[in-house]
Amino acid sequence: MATSNKLIFLWLLSFVLAGPMVHGQQPHPTVAVLSATEINALFTDSTRKEFKLNIPISQVYKYTDRSGAYLCVLMESNDSIGLTDGKTDTFSRNIKAVDLRIGGNTLTKVWELNDHILKDQGEYAIWFWKGYFSFEDYDGDGLVDPFLVYGTWGEYGYDDGRIKFIIYLKGKKYAMRHQSNSLDDGRSTEFDGGYDALPKKLKTEMNSKIARIQKDDHGYFYPLP
């Protein structure tokens, strides 16, 4: 890494770390979105290569809790242009998320998420549904529990797409995988990690997100437990 780029990298890491949460002066986790300028300066070619950030970065969330500071890097492949709800949009065949912990002047990968469209099922696009994201402490342990949502665009748009809820709680990944369909017998829902193991506050949040998705006409669901 060139000296000037390294200085910018170290400065940005210091900026990310320079929150009161890291020093124990603030009781609640915090979250913010990095600007495009910060993303371009922080994620140099060498950093992208090191962590295999090999498709375009769409957004980076910075969150802090009692354990330190983290960067949740979201990537979408941006393969083609199409129409979504009558508006021009970018279609991606692949998505990726990498969570990085900031320690001193270094970054360490905590977890990684990869997914893609199922072409044989008539899917055209996959993308992160950032409007349904949350970075909160759902079990009261002072640690952020990242809650990501993403979905696919099927032959009939949202009506027959897939929706996934991904939760990282105490270092474990929980996933709800849902096949949307306007017909009852076309819908299915599966849980990885066990729905019953989730804290009540997190179950309530999941049901709230599902209600919003249905209200927004982005999917059809069965009633959950």
128: in domain? yes
43: in domain? yes
Give the least confident one: 82-86, 114-118, 149-153: 82-86
Are the C-beta atoms of 189 and 178 separated by less than 8 Å? yes
224: in domain? no
β-pairing, 57-65 vs 30-33, is antiparallel
Residue 1 token pair: 């890494």
199: in domain? yes
pLDDT value at position 21?
41
pLDDT value at position 8?
47
Residue 55 token pair: 């498709």
How does residue 5 score in pLDDT terms, banded at 50, 70 and 90?
A: very low
114: in domain? yes
Mean pLDDT, rounded, of the chain:
87
Are the C-beta atoms of 33 and 19 separated by less than 8 Å? no
Stretch 51-56: mean pLDDT, rounded? 97
222: in domain? no
Alpha helix locations (H) across 122-163? none
**Domain span at 126:** 3-215
Residue 62 token pair: 């910075």
How does residue 193 score in pLDDT terms, banded at 50, 70 and 90?
A: confident
How does residue 87 score in pLDDT terms, banded at 50, 70 and 90?
A: confident
pLDDT value at position 20?
42
What digits encode the pLDDT tens for the residues 92-138? 999 999 999 999 789 999 999 999 999 999 999 999 999 999 999 99
Rounded Cα distance, 166 and 202, in Å: 12
What pTM was computed for the model? 0.86
What digits encode the pLDDT tens for the residues 202-216? 999 999 999 999 999
Stretch 73-88: mean pLDDT, rounded? 83
- 45: helix, coil or strand? helix
223: in domain? no
Give the least confident one: 15-19, 27-31, 60-64, 83-87: 15-19
185: in domain? yes
Number of domains within the chain: 1
Give the least confident one: 44-53, 57-66, 109-118, 181-190: 181-190
